[in-house]
Amino acid sequence: YRKPTFSGRFLNFLSNHPLSQKRGVVFSLVDRAFLLSDFGFHKRNLTLIIDILLDNDYPLDFIFDSVNLRIKHLLKNHKDHARTQIDNNINACPSWLTVPFIPIHAEKFKRFDRSVVRVSFRSPNKMKKYIKVQRDSRLHTSKSNVVYKIQCNDCDASYVGQTSRQLKTRIKEHRNHINYNSSTRSVITDHRLEYNHDFRWDDVEILDEEPCYRKRLVSEMLNIKKQKFSLNLQTDTEGLHEAYIPIINKI
């Protein structure tokens, strides 16, 4: 099945991407054509795959070679399914490492032992970096997956945090914590009570936007260290190696 909006465009063979990703395009099309359809449709689906790949500048010999490899893999996987499950339970799963694709360095990663570490590549340049979708801009406080800074209104103290939810939701929690009978500690509430200060709730600064949780945590720790009068606890940056501190101080 193809949606009415199906354009037939896939990763172009002439694009600056690793060959493994281009072969992966062929593999994924073969998987869908053979695993999601009845046997009677396989021949027609295979013809369609070849036509689509040719339209995306894939050489015919590369197409045939990749299709044959994938079909053999599917057949072998079907026959050895039970044995493969046992092997997977016995053998430890390898770790995955994702790195930016740089052509002159990509080959070096092939030296890694695939039973221990497997490498995947990502493109540093995304289409959204160059093509902006014409949408209504979101309100500042409606953004999610952000690292933010709240500044004290009466002194130079500040607090840096991160949230996957909408920023306004997290700020509301900070602001109202002082009214709760809670045993959970809040450095912002402590500062307000001790010094009778308040914060600039309507002027919260977004320092970074990052959908990946681990990357967002790193960004939070870096921005905490960059503060001059931080309210954050020592434990908020325990995951940041001390080797980064001299670099942060130079920024």
What is the pTM assigned to this prediction?
A: 0.54
Coil/strand/helix, residue 212 = coil
Helix extents (H) in 97-141: 103-106, 127-130
Q: 242: which 2 tokens?
A: 């001390």
Each residue's pLDDT tens digit, 23-61? 999 999 999 888 888 888 888 999 999 999 999 999 999
Coil/strand/helix, residue 176 = helix
Residue pointed to by tokens 């593999």: 27
Angle at 232 between CA 178 and CA 228, to 5 degrees: 120
Residue spans of the domains in the chain: they are 19-78, 95-125, 140-249
What is the block-wise mean pLDDT of the chain (251 residues), using blocks of 10 residues?
Answer: 84 92 93 86 90 94 93 80 57 76 78 79 73 68 94 96 95 92 86 95 94 91 91 84 72 63
- In whole angstroms, what is the distance from residue 141 CA to residue 166 CA? 7
